[in-house]
Structure 1
Amino acid sequence: MAVDTVREEQAIRRLIDSLLETYADSHSPDDIQTTVTAVRARFDGHPVREFVPILVERIVHRELAPPAPGSVIEEAAAAVEQPAAASSRADRRRAARGAGLVIDRRTLVGAGAAVMVGIVVVALVTRDREPTPSATPAIPGPTVVRGVVGSEKLAYFEDARVVEALARHGLRVEAQPAGSRQIAQSVDLSAFDFAFPSSSPAAERIQRARNINTKYTPFSSPMAIATFQPIADLLTEARVLRPGPVPTFDMARYLELVNTNTEWAHLANNTTYPVRKNILVSTTDPRTSNSAAMYAAIASFVANDRAVVQDERATQAVLPTLQRLFAGQGYTENSTQGPFQEYLAAGMGPSPLVLIYEAQFVEAAVQGRTAPGMVLTYPSPTVLSRHTLVPLRADGDRLGRLLSTDPDLQRLAAEHGFRTGDADRFAKVTAEHRVPVQPDLIDVVDTPTYDTLEALLDAVAKSYN
């Protein structure tokens, strides 16, 4: 009969992860892997598999860090190894007695080594426990950590591999999505352990309001623009797109077209998208969403003669341009997931240019959800959206530290398209899945201060009324 070893394999992987952390200073990963493989091989062929991971863990711990003579672990491992290797009934009886078992003759008749393994483990586990007068209490589950996050991170927290990695540390995250400006301004944070907006300005507001100094930035993502090859060809001829291995979107040239109300149909030689509507990048709602705020930061920098807006005079000077960029779009959604999903599903008809986080495009490509002809471009200049976790309680702080330091969680973040502190992780993911990205971001500008950016966005919001 075939043996289902799925759970055993999962348990062995968790064991190896734990051993790598425990013995990082004394043993190499190869040594640990080799030891686990060798010990596990001792139980090959035994049909009773439930206790194999426990046996392997005990023996490996003994071999990697030998305990003092007479300890429970040494006795357990010795008792386990004897039945696994014993070939006679007398050997098995001596092994059982060494484990503190009394097994009558009828028990041993016809019992294979695998059954003895199970019996010995049960005895050892029981022996390690203190006797209790009542029933054994239930094992507590993982600590639930509740947070409100930018929608582009929801897929990360719902990834089964992320869930498992957090569970190994005793945590289970319940994430509620919201626009980053909503998180900073209108969401009641009293019910949450952490807030995880998509930019440092939004996080700064939360920190100010709640007098919190701690923050974590486990990953980041530059702003990008998703389009389609026919649109890219049109905009290349119009000098908005600069061709290259990864095309760049010239914001200065684009704003010239916006400020003159240029329509798609006005572009020369346009036979692929002759639509009578203004050339505009589709964004989210600047009143609620961080991505729209980052877009305003980019556009205001360019409109202010490539300088960060810092005062009321500059704010008023760039405001007409920002109002055209946003109010001319009509209805906009609260988070980037909406327009990006429409981009993936509906094609270039409704939205030929969509502002996104680079991570969204990379994640979709890794998951096979992009199609030929979809093009990723980078605004020139762009801004780096630093996804910043603000801990509101102790469990949120623990999560922030794990997301920033745990190798598995950082690796999985890269697979979801985020740039972490290790650039090689991100480069490996994009190379394996052939996603053309800018490896080195050079033309990156700072955002205005929180107060200045808020003043800009509030002024833009009034144009919606």
Structure 2
Amino acid sequence: MAVDAAREEKALREVTSRLVEDYGEAHPAERVEAVVGAVRKRFEGHAVREFVPILVERIARRELDPKRGKNAAGQVDLSKASDGAVGGAAESPAETTSVFAAVAGRFVPVRLVENKRALGAVAAGVAVVLAAGAVLAVQHSDSPSATSAATALTTVRGVVGSEKSAFFDDPRVADVLAKHGLKVEIEPAGSRQIATSVDLGTYDFAFPSSSAAAERIQRQRGVSGKYVPFSSPMAIATFKPIADLLGQSGIVQTGATTTFDIEKYLALAEKGVQWNQLDGNSTYPVSKNVLVSTTDPRTSNSAAMYLAVTAYVANDNTIVRGTKAEDYAVSRVSRLFTRQGFTESSSDGPFKDYLANGMGTVPMAWIYEAQYVDAAAHDQLRPDMVLMYPSPTVMSQHTVVPLNDKGDQIGKLLTTDPDLQRLAAEHGFRPTDVSLFTKVTTAHQIPVDVNLINQVTPPDYDTLEHLLDGVAKSYN
């Protein structure tokens, strides 16, 4: 028989309570509850429910604690399992039995510690799955004759921009890839970090968030091929009181969508104006510089895109070319970075701070539009949160660089498979067929600018590197 809804609800409440206790110092309870709710939605409509609370906790922990997400994808410890909840104790390989079960339509390797408590806690659930025909195989670790369909999947390893982690963590994405005989394991990193300091020798593909980072990887690895399965314009996540306040200064204009004038912002920021110096400011009277929060330009593509836009505007709305123009642009925009203080290495961190901590910590965050749309589609936003489009903005081309034949297969699938393109849109990206993106934003009533007429062309690879080097020197 199937596990009834009441038992699943009870297990998920226990999961939420446990996560609130474990991550209470890092995230407010509302943030934890929102993450659990968003992850749970990924399993809606699946008939096999026995392991849903387990998988929800696993994925939620990875969302709340990125370091934990570096563990083997999809592998769930049940050494403390009870009533569908999951624990996290380690065990030795000699004590392990692997069960490959079809959970929510996806074959998931579940490690069970061979002791009475752990096996007893999940025996009923496994028996139900067996009775329903959902268990593919039960394989003992020292049984060389046993086989599993899961072993038939070819593992492909990639290092990807952190903003794409949720896409690859989606069980539906794994299902589609599994139909093609592939299992993808990813390591998230800042896109410029991928291009400059990550050892790519252990990966099958690299998936940075811009054509510039991809070009650097291609040069270093002698690779000519690349794929651009989807893109995302750069945007600014803020709050309605902040947008209203900057509207009084003429920096923000509201309409069908909200725009942010980079030229007026740059003029204000160059003067070192603080929030409490803005006329009529009663909503955010703090003694902090009026700045958009970014990532570290030395490691992250999103910050490099911020530099491309601000340098263009600083250079009299002209593409930066030549040493003189580079030096001039850096002299005007470097303080936009150095006055921020500590910045994170990838775009995932600032956006999570924005979602969790409110405008007191991050009044304005430079993000990929996809991050905001993904959060909105998964009900992670509060009513006062606002998406602003910089004017001008820049389109970030998420580019797969295949490092071997397996990586090439991934690049082709991400670009041509209709299900993967649809799922990319559901995670906020703009796939080749933009109508897929429009369908998502319309369904969830997310105000976006589909056309984005006012875009800048990023500087060429060498110029952007010189600009980034110039900003990096400003930190010293």
Give the TM-score taking structure 2 as reference length.
0.70
When residues 2 and 441 of structure 1 are mapped into structure 2, their CA distance, relative to the original with a 3 A threshold, is: closer
Alpha-carbon distance in structure 2 between the residues aligned to 1:152 and 1:243: 27
Task: Give the match for residue 429 of structure 1.
Answer: 440
> Kindly tell me: are residues 189 and 3 of structure 1, through their superposed partners in 2, closer, same or farther at Cα, counting changes over 3 Å?
closer
Distance 1:294 1:6 in 2: 43
CA distance in 2 between partners of 1:210 and 1:323 (Å):
31
CA distance in 1 between counterparts of 2:415 and 2:196 reads 25
Amino acid in the other structure paired with 1:348: M
CA pair 256-137 structure 1, distance change in 2 beyond 3 A: closer
Task: Give the equivalent residue in structure 2 for 1:245.
Answer: 256
Q: Is the partner of 1:306 in helix, strand or coil? A: coil
Is structure 2 residue 270 aligned with structure 1 residue 263? Answer: no
Q: Distance in 2 between matches of 1:234 and 1:327?
A: 24
Q: Aligned with 1:436: secondary structure?
A: coil
Is 1:155–2:134 an aligned residue pair?
no
Alignment of 1:6-405 (within 5 A): 6=47, 139=149, 140-405=151-416
Query: Offset at 1:250?
Result: 0.2
The amino acid that maps onto 1:225 is I
CA distance in 1 between partners of 2:441 and 2:184 (Å): 27
Kindly provide the CA deviation profile for residues 116-146 of structure 1, in whole angstroms up to 9, marking residues without a partner as x: xx9xxxxxxxxxxxxxxx9796654210000
Q: Distance in 1 between matches of 2:270 and 2:204?
A: 44
Query: 2-side partners of 1:401 and 1:243: how far apart?
Result: 40
Mark the CA change 1:394 to 1:326 in structure 2 (over 3 Å): closer, same or farther.
Answer: same
1:456 maps to a residue whose letter is L
Q: By percentage of residues, which structure has more helix?
A: 1
Gaps of at least 5 residues in structure 1 are 8-117, 119-133
* Structure 1 SS opposite 2:303: helix
Q: Would the alpha carbon gap of residues 269 and 189 (structure 1) be closer, same or farther in structure 2, given more than 3 Å must change?
A: same
Offset of 1:343 from its aligned partner?
A: 0.4
Matched position secondary structure for 1:278: coil
Q: Check 1:3–1:383 CA distance in 2 against 1; reply closer, same or farther (3 A cut).
A: closer
Structure 1 letter corresponding to 2:234: M
1:329-368: CA deviation from partner (whole Å, max 9, x where unpaired): 0000001111100000100001101000000000000111
Letter in 2 for 1:248: T
Using a 3 Å threshold, how does the CA distance of structure 1 residues 2 and 362 change in structure 2: closer, same or farther? closer
Counterpart AA for 2:334:
Q
The verdict on how the C-alpha distance between 1:3 and 1:155 changes in structure 2, with shifts beyond 3 A counting, is: closer
Secondary structure in structure 1 of the residue aligned to 2:183: strand
Q: Check if 1:438 corresponds to 2:438.
A: no
Counterpart in the other structure of 1:85: none
CA positional deviation for 1:371: 0.6
How many residues are treated as equivalent by the alignment?
A: 341
Task: Please list every run of 5 or more consecutive structure 2 residues that lacks an aligned counterpart in the other structure.
Answer: 5-45, 49-132, 134-143
Q: Give SS of 1:213's match.
A: coil
Q: Which segments of structure 1 move beyond 3 Å, counting only runs of 4 or more? A: 1-7, 134-140
- Which SS does the other structure have where 1:370 is aligned? coil
CA displacement at 1:423 relative to structure 2: 1.2
**What is the CA distance between 1:3 and its match in structure 2?**
12
Give the CA deviation at 1:6.
3.6
Structure 1 distance, partners of 2:446, 2:380, is: 12
SS at match of 1:454: helix
1:409 correspondence with 2:420: yes
Once the two structures are superposed, what CA deviation does each residue of 1:404-423 show, in whole Å capped at 9, x if it has no partner?
00010000000000001111
Distance 1:393 1:319 in 2: 38
Secondary structure at the residue paired with 2:345?
coil
* Deviation larger for 312-321 or 171-180: 312-321
1:453 and 1:412 map into 2 onto residues whose CA distance is 32
TM-score by structure 1 length?
A: 0.71
Are the structure 2 counterparts of residues 394 and 254 from structure 1 closer, same or farther at C-alpha, using a change threshold of 3 Å? same
Distance of 1:290 and 1:455 partners within structure 2: 14
How far apart in 2 are the matches of 1:365 and 1:330?
Answer: 29
Which structure shows the bigger proportion of residues in strand conformation?
A: 2
How many angstroms does 1:441 deviate by?
Answer: 1.3
Task: Give the match's secondary structure for 1:218.
Answer: strand
SS of 1:175's equivalent in the other structure is: strand
Superimposed CA distance per residue, residues 228-272 of structure 1 (whole angstroms, 9 cap, x where no aligned partner): 000000001100001111111000000010111111111111000
